[in-house]
Structure 1
C-alpha cells in the first residue's frame, strides 16, 4: 500500500538540495533559493481553465482542467509557451489556492485535472492532490510534462498520477543540448517513459472514450529533423510497445529563439510530416492520433 504522506515528505525533502528534476542543481529551494528552473518554494500559476485542445480522450466532451505552471526545467529554444515557461509569467498562489482550483475545475465538469509543466512543482502537486482527494476530488490527475523526469521523483508520484502525458522530444543528446540545454535527455527520458508505463500501463478509457489511466506519449515533429522523429518512434515501438498511444504533433511554428537556428526558422512541411506519419504506420504504432497539415 502506498504511504502518500511519507512520499509527500520525501518529495519536499528533495527540495532542500534540489534533486526534483534530473538536473539536480542542488539549490536550497525549501529556503527560498531559486533552482535552474527559476523556482524556489512558492507556487506560480499562469492560468487555470477548461481546455478543449488536448487529445480526444483527454479533452473529450467537457474539456480538461488545465493548470499551467510558470517556469520549466528545460530551456527549449522553440517553446510555444515561452512567456510562461521561460519568462516566468504567472501569479503566486498558495497550496490552498491550488486545491481550490482543482475542485473548482471539477465543479465545472472537466474530465481530469491537467497539470501542465508540473515537474518542478512535484511536491506541491502531490500534497495538493492528496488534500483535494480528501475534499472530494474524483477525476483523474494528469501529469503533462516534457518527459525529462527524475526516476525517484516519479516513483514518489506513483498513485498520485493517473495519466502521464510526456513528450519524447529527442532521440540524440546532441540535438537535445542544442535545442533544450540538457546533455542527457535521451537516457533520462527513456528511463522515465518506462517508469511511467510501469506505473499506469497503456491508456484505458471509460465507456464514453474518456481517459481514466495510462500513458500517452507526445512527439512534436521538428522541421529539418525527421531522423530524430524516426528514432524516437522506433524507441516507442520496440521498447515501450506497439500498443502505446502516440500523439504525433504537426503544430510546430517558430517561437521564442527558434529563428536563431536555420532549420527551425521555417514551418514544418507537409512532406516532412507525411514522412513521419508513414514511419509511424511502418512501425505498427496504430494507437493514437495524427494531425492534418495543409
Structure 2
C-alpha cells in the first residue's frame, strides 16, 4: 500500500467527512460544508494572547489562542455563536497557521491554545508537526468540546501536550435537547480516556504553568446541578487526581434562547455553591472555581481576524 504524504492525507480525510461523531459524510474538499459549518479550508477568526483561561494556562503572560471557525456540536447556548456557525474567519493555509504559532511564541505566549479545532484536526496536526520540526518550544493545548472521535485524538498523540476539554453532559436527554447529540456522554467518556492515555499525569513548571496534562471543564447551567454533579462524579471516580477540574458559572442567557425558557436566567449562587460543595465533599483538591460576577465580565473576543 502506498504511504500518503501529509498533504494527500489531509485531502483524503475531508473527502467524505467522518472527523466528528456525527459522520455527516460531507464532501468538504469540493466546497461542501459539513455539519460543522465549514468546508476543507482553514478559517481562523483571531490569533492573539488570551488572558481568560485557567491560571495554569493563561498565567500572567497569556495563552496564544487561535480561534477556528465552525463547530461540530452547535450548542444552542454557545457564547461564540457567530464563530461556531462558521460565519467568521479568514481563510488561511497550513504554512500560515504554522507561522502564527511562532508569532504567538515571540509575543511571549505560554502555549499555543487551539480553540475548537475538532473539525480541522488533520490540517492542524500537520501544522503542529511542522512547527515542532522547526523548533517551536511551547506546549500545544487542544481546547475542545469533548465531542471528538478516538481516531482523531489518536492522530494528535505525540503532538498535543495539554487537553482542555469541555465535559458538558452526563444526561443524554439534555445533550439531545441543547446540542442535538444524545450520544455525547459516551463520546466524551471515550475522548477523555484517550486524552489521559496520552497525558496520564499533569506536569506544571516551577511557575505553576501546565506543560502537560488534562483539564476537564464543566459549565454549570440553570437547573442542571444534578447533571453537573454527575459529570464531577464520573471524572473523579474514574480518574481521581489525574485531571484538574474547572467548575464554571459563567453561563450567559442570550436573546436567542427564548425557545428554551429554562435557560433564560443566570446560574444562582445557591446552585453554584451546591456544585462546589459536592466537589469538596468528594475530596477533590485539583480544581478551579470561579468568583461570582464572571458571567457579567466574561470576555467574548472580537472576531476581527487579529493576528491572522
TM-score bracket, normalised by the shorter chain, equals: over 0.9
**For residues 62 and 173 of structure 1, do their structure 2 counterparts lie closer, same or farther at Cα, with a shift above 3 Å needed?**
same
In the alignment, the residues of structure 1 paired with residue 285 and residue 274 of structure 2 have an alpha-carbon distance, to the nearest angstrom, of 16
Q: Is the 8 A contact 2:111 2:141 kept in 1?
A: yes
Provide the secondary structure at the position in 2 that maps to 1:159: coil
**For residues 98 and 13 of structure 1, do their structure 2 counterparts lie closer, same or farther at Cα, with a shift above 3 Å needed?**
same
**For residues 37 and 279 of structure 1, do their structure 2 counterparts lie closer, same or farther at Cα, with a shift above 3 Å needed?**
same
Q: Which residue of 1 aligns with 2:211?
A: 212
Which sections of structure 1, spanning at least 5 residues, go unmatched?
none
Normalised by the size of structure 2, how large is the TM-score? 0.90
Q: Does 1:114 align with 2:113?
A: yes
In the alignment, the residues of structure 1 paired with residue 240 and residue 193 of structure 2 have an alpha-carbon distance, to the nearest angstrom, of 10
Q: Which residue of 2 aligns with 1:83?
A: 82
Which sections of structure 2, spanning at least 5 residues, go unmatched?
294-308
Runs of 4+ off more than 3 Å: 5-12
1:278 CA drift (Å) = 0.6
1:92 CA drift (Å) = 1.0
Q: How does 1:187-206 map to 2 (within 5 A)?
A: 187-206=186-205
**For residues 99 and 256 of structure 1, do their structure 2 counterparts lie closer, same or farther at Cα, with a shift above 3 Å needed?**
farther
Q: Which residue of 1 aligns with 2:35?
A: 36
Deviates more, 1:168-177 or 1:11-20: 11-20
In the alignment, the residues of structure 1 paired with residue 174 and residue 41 of structure 2 have an alpha-carbon distance, to the nearest angstrom, of 32
Q: Which residue of 1 aligns with 2:167?
A: 168
Q: Does 1:93 align with 2:100?
A: no
Q: Is the 8 A contact 1:79 1:255 kept in 2?
A: no
Q: Which residue of 1 aligns with 2:64?
A: 65
**For residues 256 and 83 of structure 1, do their structure 2 counterparts lie closer, same or farther at Cα, with a shift above 3 Å needed?**
farther
Q: Which residue of 2 aligns with 1:251?
A: 250
Q: Does 1:25 align with 2:24?
A: yes
Q: Does 1:271 align with 2:277?
A: no
In the alignment, the residues of structure 2 paired with residue 69 and residue 60 of structure 1 have an alpha-carbon distance, to the nearest angstrom, of 22
In the alignment, the residues of structure 2 paired with residue 194 and residue 259 of structure 1 have an alpha-carbon distance, to the nearest angstrom, of 36
What is the RMSD computed on CA atoms of the aligned residues?
1.6
Provide the secondary structure at the position in 1 that maps to 2:151: helix
**For residues 290 and 221 of structure 1, do their structure 2 counterparts lie closer, same or farther at Cα, with a shift above 3 Å needed?**
same
1:256 CA drift (Å) = 6.3
Residue deviations 1:39-81 (CA, integer Å, cap 9, x gap): 1110001100001111011011211000000010011111011
In the alignment, the residues of structure 2 paired with residue 127 and residue 190 of structure 1 have an alpha-carbon distance, to the nearest angstrom, of 26
Q: Is the 8 A contact 1:8 1:123 kept in 2?
A: no
Q: Does 1:45 align with 2:25?
A: no
In the alignment, the residues of structure 1 paired with residue 197 and residue 24 of structure 2 have an alpha-carbon distance, to the nearest angstrom, of 27
Q: Which residue of 2 aligns with 1:224?
A: 223
1:141 CA drift (Å) = 0.5
